[in-house]
Amino acid sequence: MISQMPPLVRRCAGLTLACLLLIHPAWQPCVCGDDVVSFRNDIAPVLIAKCQPCHGPKKSSGDYRVDSFERAMVVGADEIVDRIESEDDDFRMPPDGDSLPKQQRELFARWLDQEATYDDLNPKASLISIVPGIQHPAAPGHYLRSIPVTALAFSKSHTELYVSGYRELLVWNIPERTLTKRIPNLPPRIRCIDMHPSRPLLAVAGGIPGRLGEVRIIDQNTSQVLRVLHRSDDMCFSARFSPDGRKLATAGADGTVQVFETDSWIRTHRFANHSDWVQQITWNQASTRLASASRDHTAKVFDLESNKRLTSYTGHDGNVYSVCFAPKGDDVFSGGSDGKLMRWRVEDGKTVREFARQQEAVYQIGLLPQTQRVAIASGDPYLLSIIAHNAGEPKRFSPGDTEGQAANLSAAVSFDERLIAAGDRHGTVRVWTTENHQLMAEFAARPE
């Protein structure tokens, strides 16, 4: 079969499968009893880390893909071994640098000697869906520089703030501005943190761009990862518990919105109506509908009872970054790269009114139901609070330090709605009181 393939495909296939031996530090071989090499434990994770970025569903160099066992094995094993062991620089794979270490070659050779068996049920399943949840590398002890704050969540006590870090969550005491806890075993980029309304659970969405997307369910008491959901080939951007706590919705770069039961973690719904990244999702108060914001320039509403899309909103002139249901009624607010905060109706997808127009993109919308207000975080260095039913004159949450101001990428409202926090592109976190809009805390969210 190899001889019948075009030369470019043959070369790319040999290169890709030779990459199986370039073991990613997060996925070290876990050879089982009797030296059995497991495809799903040992081989598939390396394909994902080293080969799939160039030979996956979005990019397939040489028309060759490795994102499933069936696709990866369209080439024969003999040529792979020959290329790995060859001393000919023009024939050997990988083509650049030294040949692979002996231990790595032997690992792959053992798998081939064991008839290259597949130890999962469906050979057509995506590799990312069959591999065990990986153990992510540890975060650095201290950060040499600040990183953008892309996700925030208040604790139920309102005294602590969960902040996105590099491969970890950073838990900060707000009054004392001190780092009290670090939650490890998370992906390099974290895009959403959500707190279960009644149980000690956290949902964290993130991943590795172009390689991995996932949502991790974490026990707040032990910091242990309990489940890994919505595993995909690219980033996950959002994960939100329903107000009744019975469901979790997730969304990501694969363009899907998925819903899981929180008792069994069984997936109950999957909506694939968007043509590009789904960057945020939110629930209505009844836990029966979801709104989504997408890079395809639309926002949509889905109904779980009918399992259907109810409407699409097309009133933005660019990417839609954030959505939230209005405090009362069925209307939805959405914000995007055009700087607009729009309110629109679910029943027909028509605009009610434009509530705000910022000079920069609107990245996050925070809801304050008790006071019937919405707050927006944008490319401007302050937050705005707007009355939900009548735009009126917005109130401003201003940063204390007028120097080095940066775009606010994330925002969160405390459970009692007394506090609101924002994280900016320079790694600074600010917390204000919602009653008088006074700045009460400001700190660089960086372990030192």
- Does residue 313 sit in the same domain as residue 385? yes
Predicted local distance difference test score (pLDDT) of residue 80: 65
- Does residue 33 sit in the same domain as residue 181? no
- Does residue 76 sit in the same domain as residue 217? no
In a domain, 371, yes or no: yes
Instruction: Name every residue whose Cβ is closer than 8 Å to that of residue 201 and which is 6 or more positions away in sequence.
Output: 195, 217, 218, 219, 220, 226, 241, 262
pTM assigned to the model: 0.79
- Does residue 406 sit in the same domain as residue 373? yes
- Does residue 199 sit in the same domain as residue 82? no
E strands, 115-246, are 152-154, 160-164, 169-173, 178-183, 189-195, 201-208, 212-219, 225-232, 236-241
In a domain, 314, yes or no: yes
206, 235 Cβ separation under 8 angstroms: yes
Residues of the chain with pLDDT > 70, as a percent, come to 86
- Does residue 164 sit in the same domain as residue 226? yes
Mean pLDDT over residues 319-340, rounded? 94
- Does residue 95 sit in the same domain as residue 165? no
Structural domain harbouring 115: 2-130
DSSP labels for 405-444?
A: ---EEEEEE-TTSSEEEEEETTSEEEEEETTT--EEEEEE
- Does residue 59 sit in the same domain as residue 121? yes
The CATH number of residue 278's host domain is 2.130.10.10
Predicted local distance difference test score (pLDDT) of residue 77: 60
- Does residue 321 sit in the same domain as residue 360? yes
Asked whether the predicted pLDDT for residue 204 surpasses 60, the reply is: yes
In a domain, 230, yes or no: yes
Predicted local distance difference test score (pLDDT) of residue 10: 46
In a domain, 55, yes or no: yes
- Does residue 57 sit in the same domain as residue 197? no
DSSP labels for 203-223?
A: EEEEEETTTEEEEEEEETTT-
- What are the counts of helices (DSSP H) followed by strands (DSSP E) for the chain? 6, 28
Mean pLDDT over residues 40-67, rounded? 76
Q: Which of 18-32, 217-231, 236-250, 253-267 has the lowest mean pLDDT?
A: 18-32
- Does residue 309 sit in the same domain as residue 271? yes
Structure tokens at 245: 């706590």
Predicted local distance difference test score (pLDDT) of residue 239: 99
Count of structural domains within the chain: 2
In the structure, what pLDDT confidence band is assigned to residue 401 with cuts at 50, 70 and 90? low
Peptide bond into 394 cis (omega under 30): no
Q: Which of 30-39, 110-119, 160-169, 290-299 has the lowest mean pLDDT?
A: 30-39
Q: Which of 17-26, 120-129, 313-322 has the lowest mean pLDDT?
A: 17-26
334, 344 Cβ separation under 8 angstroms: yes
In a domain, 34, yes or no: yes
- Does residue 223 sit in the same domain as residue 186? yes
Asked whether the predicted pLDDT for residue 72 surpasses 50, the reply is: yes
In the structure, what pLDDT confidence band is assigned to residue 399 with cuts at 50, 70 and 90? confident
Asked whether the predicted pLDDT for residue 40 surpasses 50, the reply is: yes
Predicted local distance difference test score (pLDDT) of residue 163: 99
Mean pLDDT over residues 219-247, rounded? 96
State which amino acid sits at residue 66: V
More confident: 276 or 396: 276
In a domain, 112, yes or no: yes
In a domain, 164, yes or no: yes
Computed over every residue of the chain, the mean pLDDT equals 86
In a domain, 143, yes or no: no
Question: What is the C-alpha separation between 389 and 392, in angstroms, rounded?
Answer: 9
Predicted local distance difference test score (pLDDT) of residue 95: 61
Asked whether the predicted pLDDT for residue 257 surpasses 80, the reply is: yes
